[in-house]
Structure 1
Amino acid sequence: MDYEEMNYGSLSREQQLNSSLAFPILMRKVYVWMALALIITGLSAFYVATTPALLSMIFANSAVLMGLIIAELALVFWLSAAINRLSLVSATLMYILYSIINGVTLSSIFLVYTAESIGSVFFITAATFGAMAAYGYFTNKDLTSWGRMLFMALLGIIIASIVNIFVGSSGLHLLISYAGVIVFVGLTAYDSQKIKLLMLQAPDASESMQKLALMSALTLYLDFINLFLHLLSILGDRRN
């Protein structure tokens, strides 16, 4: 099913009633799954950061770290591509596994920044994310036009980040961080509105619709993580 082509107006009265009942269920699942992924990622990162043997195994061996990064990217792309073929249980397990791997790779921030600044930036991120998600959810303004602009800006950030790997410019790194904050603040509002509209059009709370909610949670989770990392790059206190 192409979820974006669903039309609420074409549903029968009974289907519309099912849809209205399904909406709060699906939206709740979106935010519960997103929060679950953040908790798992945070706990995984903290556990690795406080286990010297794991830190040494992962970050002293570039092959292990590269393998984790590749596995992380492959898993999220595979989950997105295969979601219609997977059961809800399988998709949820893959989602949890991705959250764990992401936490393992993100444990490196504890080597770079102080724990206090990581905590404070996390709460700043949560407040910013919450405000923009609420804006996207409640605004009557159509944010569709934001999508293309934000995607092009994100592509520019990715290209600039790759270039800076070889250039190593601190100025460019700071510019990328500020641009990243702007882009992911915008994406949070855009994705929040898009997800709301998708859930409003869901005909029921069937397994296929719950898988849509799971993928929506993944989208918001990635918005939060990227916003957090860019804010940390700007506001975080580095270890001496």
Structure 2
Amino acid sequence: MAGVYRWMFAGLVVTAGVALYTASSLAVLQFVYNLRWVFYLATFALVVVLSALAHRLSGFVAGVLFLAYAALTGLIFSFIFVVYELGSVWQAFLLTGGAFLALSIYGTVTKRNLDAWSTFLVMGLIGVVLAGLVQLFWTSPGFSFVVSCACVVVFAGLTAWDTQKLRTWAAMTAMEGREGTAALPVAGALVLYLDFVNLFLALLRLFGRRR
């Protein structure tokens, strides 16, 4: 699990660094905006590759792809600093960090099998994804508020559930005396990274102060 969290932390650092740098340059922001759909598709493709082929990739290749994904996400997230006040962004980040830590600890220490949440969480995830697509074409303050609240609940649950699944994988690997596929810690980091950033975005939409 230590390797998973190291990669996740590295990904968050890369995302934050790229986002801050991009937001500081109007020319770069304009470039990213003009090619935003290219970056959206590229991030989607990298997630699919890492998720589907983790068992085939070497640790090095998986790490490079993950950091590339984190960098592309940083380009997209740069507009957060344009829309929201900087202090508000950091407050949402710290709130997310505290919530993520608490949920990860719960997922690690609880004796309860969180697989019982799986149906609710998967259906909830599908629901918020569909709601996000609807928001591309139509939205309202009330609808956005409901979707953001749902996202907080879904990704909070996913954080605890995914942590438990990764802990179980790590324990089984250790008991069997094998190292496992080198890319799997990176794949695990991607899962928790996605939980973190989506929880962050939901909290930012709920509590962030716009410029």
Asked whether the two chains share a fold, i.e. TM above 0.5, the reply is yes
Question: Alpha-carbon deviation of 1:125?
Answer: 0.4
TM-score normalised by the chain length of structure 1: 0.84
Question: Alpha-carbon deviation of 1:205?
Answer: 5.5
* Structure 2 residues not aligned, in runs of 5+: none
Question: Separation in 1 of the partners of 2:121 and 2:65?
Answer: 27
1:217 aligns with 2:189: yes
Question: Alpha-carbon deviation of 1:213?
Answer: 1.5
Aligned to 2:136: 165
User: 1:1-240, aligned counterparts within 5 Å?
Assistant: 27-59=1-33, 61=34, 64-202=35-173, 203-204=176-177, 206=179, 208=181, 210-239=182-211
TM-score normalised by the chain length of structure 2: 0.96
* Structure 1 residues not aligned, in runs of 5+: 1-26
Question: Alpha-carbon deviation of 1:85?
Answer: 2.4
| Identical-residue share of aligned pairs (%) | 38
Query: Contact 1:83–1:91 (CA<8 Å) still a contact in 2?
Result: yes
Question: Alpha-carbon deviation of 1:207?
Answer: 5.8
Aligned to 1:20: none
Question: Alpha-carbon deviation of 1:109?
Answer: 0.5
Query: Contact 1:136–1:190 (CA<8 Å) still a contact in 2?
Result: yes
Question: Separation in 2 of the partners of 1:132 and 1:120?
Answer: 18
Question: Separation in 1 of the partners of 2:180 and 2:168?
Answer: 18
Specify the structure having the higher radius of gyration (Cα): 1
Question: Separation in 2 of the partners of 1:132 and 1:206?
Answer: 27
Q: Which moved more, 1:73-82 or 1:179-188?
A: 73-82
Query: Contact 1:88–1:207 (CA<8 Å) still a contact in 2?
Result: no
Query: Contact 1:161–1:173 (CA<8 Å) still a contact in 2?
Result: no
Query: Contact 2:15–2:70 (CA<8 Å) still a contact in 1?
Result: yes
Q: Deviation digits for residues 143-185 of structure 1, max 9, x if unmatched?
A: 1111121010111111122123222222111100001001111
Amino acid in the other structure paired with 1:221: Y
Number of aligned residue pairs: 209
Query: Contact 2:108–2:164 (CA<8 Å) still a contact in 1?
Result: yes
